[in-house]
């Protein structure tokens, strides 16, 4: 079985970084891995609501930080750097993952089952991985 294009959503948690390692181990020799970071639109809006600054400034800061972290990940994996691509979008994480997986016709999504959210949030609201699993027709490999 060849897996040419893999989407790996990342929030830079240890679990999402393990998911990237799994993706690297299963991608076909000529395949590519797309590391996707979704800056949470709701978090950005709360930033401004609480008087911590403008949404635009928070958005730019989150985008720049994600870009920096993705570059560092790619630099740390120089032997596989030609397979790694980065994508940064603003939105609701599970919605953007579903949209991108479908629109760009990925063969597989590999993601961690635990991200940056608290265990209580995951019990009450479900994790991003749960929502992606329920909402997609693209195969999903969840990494603990």
**First CA to last CA across the chain, in angstroms?**
23
Q: 């940064």: which residue's tokens?
A: 88
Let me know: does 143 contact 111? Beta carbons within 8 Å: yes
Count of domains for the chain:
1
Structure tokens at 119: 């265990």
Kindly tell me the burial class for residue 27, based on how many C-beta atoms sit within 10 Å of its own C-beta (0-12, 13-18, 19 or more): buried
* CATH for 55: 3.40.50.620
In eight-state DSSP terms, residue 29 is T
Name the residue range of residue 55's domain.
5-143
pLDDT per residue as tens, the chain (144 positions): 789 999 999 999 999 999 999 999 999 999 999 999 999 998 888 877 777 778 888 899 999 999 999 999 999 998 887 899 999 999 999 999 999 999 999 999 999 987 555 554 554 445 888 999 999 999 999 998
């Amino acid at each position: 079985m060849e897996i040419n294009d893999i989407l790996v959503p990342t929030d830079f948690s240890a679990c999402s970084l393990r998911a990237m390692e799994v993706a690297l181990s299963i991608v076909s020799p000529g395949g590519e891995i797309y590391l996707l970071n979704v800056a949470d639109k709701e978090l950005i809006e709360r930033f401004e609501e609480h008087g911590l600054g403008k949404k635009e400034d928070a958005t730019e800061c989150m985008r720049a930080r994600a870009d920096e972290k993705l570059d560092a990940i790619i630099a740390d994996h120089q032997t596989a750097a030609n397979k790694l691509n980065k994508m940064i979008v603003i939105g609701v994480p599970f919605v953007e993952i579903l949209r991108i997986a479908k629109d760009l016709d990925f063969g597989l999504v590999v993601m961690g089952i635990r991200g940056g959210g608290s265990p209580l949030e995951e019990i009450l609201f479900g994790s991003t991985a749960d929502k992606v699993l329920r909402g997609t027709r693209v195969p999903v490999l969840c990494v603990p």
